[in-house]
Amino acid sequence: MDYLETLNPSQRAAVEQIDGPVMIIAGAGSGKTRVLTYRIVHMLRNGVDPFQILSLTFTNKAAKEMRHRIYEAVGTESKNIWMGTFHSIFSRILRSESERIGYPRNFTIYDSDDSKSLIKTILGEMKLDDKLYKPSNMLGRISAAKNVLITAEEYLGNSEYSENDASSGRPKFGQLFKTYQDRCFRAGAMDFDDLLVNTHKLFANHLDVLNKYQHMFKYIMVDEFQDTNHAQYMIIKKLATVNENIAVVGDDAQSIYAFRGANIKNILGFQKDFPDVKTFKLEQNYRSTQTIVNAASSVIEKNRDQIKKKVWTDNEPGERIRVFKALTDNEEGKMVASAIFQDKMNSQAMNKDFAILYRTNAQSRSMEEALRKLNIPYKIYGGLSFYQRKEVKDLLGYYRIVLNPNDEEALKRVINYPTRGIGKTSLEKLAVVADQHKVSLWQVMEQVNQIGFKNMSAIEDFVTMIKSFQAMLDRNVYEVAMHIAKSSGVLKSLYEDKTVEGIARYENTEALLNGIKEFSLDDGADEDGVARPKTLADFMADVALLTNDDKDKDQTQDHVSLMTIHSAKGLEYKYVHVVGLEENLFPSQLSLNSRQELEEERRLFYVAITRAMKKVTISFATSRFKFGNIVNAEPSRFLTELDPQFLHFENVFGPRGQFNEKEHGAQKNSATLSGLPKKALTFNRPQPRTAAVTQAPVDPNFEADDTSNLEAGMKVEHQRFGLGLVESLEGNGDNRKATIDFDSAGKKVLVLKFAKLKIK
């Protein structure tokens, strides 16, 4: 069948409009990927050179799926399209052109851990309080500046920024920003934001390079356009200036990433920059029931800033949305788990058909506890990914330093792993010299003999070893990777650790090497399309650019999926539970300062509902634990914005049945939807189970760290449970508790007063 015959009229019109600026507004479940795919197929069938097509996505997964579909339609020509994430495409351009802006071609890409480590180092050197200058907050502020193309020099030179920093008690932030950028540059490293900033800088300062890519990319397509930030849009606009054959695809109703710098004005104001734009609206939903589509529309229509559309579906009417009211968050978890169990039995559904979506990660605890009690398997998405595990990052650190020896973060990570007698004091001496001469640590290490330091033979041996690895870089990626793993001593060190944790670490390293082997089997191609073996540089570039979606989303296993709504965007499930619909939780208390913030929260709720194919269940609690204390909660305003004709309320304590619609509409402020007795709020509630670890340490040399500054997202080591990731903290003083996901022991709630932890 002709591919055009499979499209509805709106889809077909969007596919056939190849030339000129095009905006495709794709409602939830409207077949957006099919339109994107067939639009490129249509271009190729109409004589467009695939090398002249640039297709930008937000995940490698989306690019891979599109490329596969195009391959099925047109064959090997699909391999010649420039298709990938913004960061991967811009990284590819920078690999070719980076020397124009002073970077080596094998520049390192820092992930958030690398950046945070560097910030901590600089804070120590500047003698700044890391409680006031929290590394994660500082990185967030640096990222926000870069997303709007403000350089460190511009920031330092702006008196308004300086005054704001001084009034907030952080007068040295500008200097911290500048030092961070200088150190990245000296290390031949870029963080993710630099891939955008430096591409923009390359095009702005080297017009010949810009002209080259403007004429190379005659046709540009941008997926998820509502998620683009200012820097991304400015680069796209520059590239599209000559030909203006730019098609942007997105849905303003699903713009939910302002905290990452996404700017909804890009899609709302696209017509101002491209007045001749032709707009197509994909309004037919193929995913959800009529009830779900109509209920979602009844909420999102409350937003003022939007492109008006009427989403509809030919699917079955479906069940009304169930609304559960619980007394506590623990009660809410039990209700959700019970509902999943019943739906599984009644509909012969599988675990993977269900998703539990929440506003914040901390809400997962009560859900997990309830699912475990009913023996329902589940998986939490957004936790520690494979490529963030210490043993994996250690071996990747070796690969990084071989490719780019100036990469200081990688160097510090591996120089004494496995132990080779290079102490902290020696490194500090070398670092002082490096800083005095404004050169990299590696450059000092190369000349350690000439500097006059004594007892530096271990440093010399390390330099010799790395240079021997560099001599192999033109060989096949797997051969090089395995040689480094063996010759560095990493594999031997891991193999000799026969503890449960040690065996797991060895297996993870083995899995990494197996992945490299698989990667090596698919030949790459140079700029002229000539096949060549994959190199270590190819693999590291690929790994560095993996997005969270590419790392975590595995829907092949039969488990219930738990994740934040932000993580769920782009996914779909037959049954969706949206939990914690309470004021100050959803919408978040942090997002009630302006109409724009509230509208983004409403879009987030819209995204949550539209993930569902068959059934949506919404729940809220009238009380919830916060920092160890019980606080009263009231239902979210979003519940009152849903058209009541699409809802079915179920009382926790009474028989099932719909509540009075008049009452529902009238309770916008008090929001007491079920008429529970007032004194129900004074009932004794089950306390969350915690663990106080007081056993004697397994390792007599284990030294615990001070955990008063422990934060969510930190990695820790426990003497019995091994390595873990801190997911959330609650309580104060002696009652402070941490929820930690340990690699081997699973999730534990530990009282920090008693738990002996080492911060990694």
Please identify every residue annotated as catalytic: 32-33, 223-224, 254, 611
Residue 228: both structure tokens together: 């683009």
536/206 Cα distance (integer angstroms): 30
- Would you say 685 and 633 are in contact if contact means Cβ atoms under 8 Å apart? no
Say which amino acid occupies 731.
G
- Would you say 430 and 444 are in contact if contact means Cβ atoms under 8 Å apart? yes
CA angle 110, 113, 117 (to 5 degrees): 95
Residue closest to 249 by CA, chosen among 231, 230, 272, 267: 267
- Would you say 441 and 430 are in contact if contact means Cβ atoms under 8 Å apart? yes
Q: What is the DSSP letter of 386?
A: G
Residues β-bridged to residue 531: 525
302/178 Cα distance (integer angstroms): 43
- Would you say 637 and 597 are in contact if contact means Cβ atoms under 8 Å apart? no
Tell me if the bond preceding 418 is cis, omega within 30° of 0.
Answer: yes
605/398 Cα distance (integer angstroms): 43
Distances in Å between the Cα of 528 and the Cα atoms of 95, 531, 573 are: 15, 9, 42
DSSP assignment of 26-67, as one string? E-TTS-HHHHHHHHHHHHHHTT--GGGEEEEES-HHHHHHHH
Q: Could you identify the residue written with the tokens 């797997």?
A: 478
Environment class of residue 351 by beta-carbon count within 10 Å: exposed (0-12), middle (13-18) or buried (19+)? Answer: middle
- Would you say 357 and 564 are in contact if contact means Cβ atoms under 8 Å apart? yes
Q: What is the DSSP letter of 660?
A: P
E runs forming strands in 229-351: 246-250, 278-282, 321-326
Residue 717: both structure tokens together: 């080591």
Q: What is the DSSP letter of 306?
A: S
* Sheet strands side by side (includes 573-578): 378-380, 560-564, 354-358, 573-578, 612-621, 321-326, 647-650
SS3 assignment for 5-17: HHCCHHHHHHHHC
In our burial notation (b when 16+ CB lie closer than 10 A, e otherwise), range 61-92 reads bbbeebbebbeebbeeebeebbbbbbbbbbbe
Residue 500: both structure tokens together: 């449960």
- Would you say 357 and 608 are in contact if contact means Cβ atoms under 8 Å apart? yes
Longest dimension (CA), the chain: 85
DSSP assignment of 541-600, as one string? HHHHT--HHHHH---SSSSEEEEEHHHHTT--EEEEEE---BTBBTTBGGG-SSHHHHHH
Environment class of residue 212 by beta-carbon count within 10 Å: exposed (0-12), middle (13-18) or buried (19+)? Answer: middle
